[in-house]
Structure 1
């Protein structure tokens, strides 16, 4: 949207804006068939693994904290919660994705994210 376009122009003018996973990965929240739950759970783990690999080389997705990093923050929190309740397993074991976990915690520690979560009523936030 407009905010993303503005940030892209100001922060990383020659890069493509990265957005959080869309419809397919978010489908883990509502599938009814067990095969769909497992398939989408595996897709979530695959994405976390790819991000973990990228973050093994860099503290942020780009050279500094950008919209690309922060766009994932809320989605990452929801996936961890819903994966456990929908598939009976944890989507992201912190030990399996250490760089991803460190990155998510760094995003959550930013003042603007704390402010947003406070407005939403989340006083305690975990990755």
Structure 2
């Protein structure tokens, strides 16, 4: 009986550690790759003839940063939903969900800073 409880505790702890580590790595890497994706899609639309501004004026928000933050939030919501509903790792999915929602603002700030430099 105690071995089963110990396995559950280890499993929950491992899910927690992996959830935090993967969330941090994803949050650090997503602004760069998301920004490059948005630039490439924008270039494709500009080749067709549309004009899309990704950088705002000083003192205003950056539309590109809003787009990347929205993509980040949608990706996190989809990943956590699939993890919670389709696997047995419920805690892992919940950690990804809550940290992702909190980190969306940080992704916006990172992309907005990256745009200006």
Bigger Cα Rg: 2
Larger proportion of helix: 2
- TM-score grouping bracket, smaller chain normalisation: 0.3 to 0.5
Q: TM-score, with normalisation over the residues of structure 2?
A: 0.33
Q: TM-score, with normalisation over the residues of structure 1?
A: 0.31
